[in-house]
Amino acid sequence: MTHLLRSLVLRPLALSLTASLAVLSLTGCATDSGTAGGMALTAPTPTEQYPLQAQTMTKTINLRINPNGLSGNQRTALDQIAQKAGWTSGAPVNVEIITSGDPAAIAAGRTVGDYLVDHDVAATSLSQLSQAGQAADIVTVNIVDYRARTYACGQTWENLAATRNNTPYQNFGCAVSSNLAAQIADPRDLQTPRAATSADMGRRSVVFDKYRKGDVTSSAKDDNATGAISNAIK
């Protein structure tokens, strides 16, 4: 009888110890797979190590409001801005016109904007806003330059055979990101995607009309675009 009671007491204790060891074993496996302090640790990807970013540099010009319009010196300064921000120059530049909330100052800011548009600056690159604290007799023109960030790769190297932590080495992805940055025509696309161009409504209506009639909706075949092997090399 005593042996039977002792067996019944020890059996739940053994089961409890087995369950505890199993929990500890699973916890250890989770820690080894990349958790610390309850937070998952994941290795950074190459794009996270060297992200594509647009760097900006702002130059400021302050123009005093002239009751008689833009002065000769002010026109010269705006001509230099237009030469840099003109759409034919291809430079990734935005122009910000800042005035006070005074109606006369806002009108002067619009005059500056109209002058720049007349001198080859795209209206989409211009913005005008009023700010508190801006002097009522000053129009501030900010020229924002953009460039894609490149990285200095290969400055230091570590042991590439040390793969026990399964993490990318320090320079992994640096050359790819830097090469892409050097090829980006307009770094502003890295900050905000440009708006989609409007659809050709006329072309769409023609295609739908052919579709409803059961006609072929594809473009007509262009014989000049047909490729053929020259008889000289056959």
3-state secondary structure of 208: helix
- Rounded Cα gap, residues 82 and 95, in angstroms: 10
What are the tens digits of pLDDT across the range 115-165? 999 999 989 889 999 999 999 999 999 999 888 888 888 888 888 888 888
Q: Tokens 């905000």 map to which residue?
A: 192
Looking at the domain assignment, is residue 144 inside a domain? Answer: yes
Total structural domains in the chain? 1
Q: Could you tell me whether strands 126-130 and 93-99 are parallel, antiparallel, or unpaired per DSSP bridges? A: parallel
Looking at the domain assignment, is residue 227 inside a domain? Answer: no
Looking at the domain assignment, is residue 97 inside a domain? Answer: yes
Owning domain of residue 144: 53-149
Looking at the domain assignment, is residue 198 inside a domain? Answer: no
Strands (E), 70-137: 93-99, 126-130
What CATH number is associated with residue 91?
3.30.1330.60
Looking at the domain assignment, is residue 107 inside a domain? Answer: yes
Indicate the helix (H) or strand (E) that contains 202: helix 201-213
Check: pTM over 0.85? Answer yes or no: no
What are the tens digits of pLDDT across the range 165-200? 877 788 888 888 899 888 888 888 887 777 777 777
Provide the token pair at 76. Answer: 């010269």
CB atoms within 10 A of CB 192: 8
Looking at the domain assignment, is residue 72 inside a domain? Answer: yes
